[in-house]
Amino acid sequence: MLKESEAGAKTDDICRRHGISSATFYTWRKKYGGMDASEARRLRELEAENAKLKRIVADQMLDMTSMKELLAKNW
């Protein structure tokens, strides 16, 4: 879609054809503009991995907090 826009197609026509809003198109253009498909795919993979790692850290922090509370009650 971004390549179509760079080739000169109108943004409204592209959005209508692909069923997205113009706000979504401009967000994607801001985020993925100037990237190849492989670079965009790699970016999505890294974002997914980052989200997974953040969930793991949050779970660990929750476990640590609950253990601290449990130890504080026992003493």
Q: What is the DSSP secondary structure assignment for residue 33, as one 8-state letter? A: T
The predicted pLDDT at position 35 comes to 82
Distance, CA of 52 to CA of 58 (rounded, Å): 10
Which structure tokens are listed for 31?
Answer: 């985020």
Residue numbers of the chain with a pLDDT score lower than 50 = none
The answer to whether 25 and 14 have CB atoms below 8 angstroms apart is yes
Global confidence as pTM? 0.59
The predicted pLDDT at position 75 comes to 67
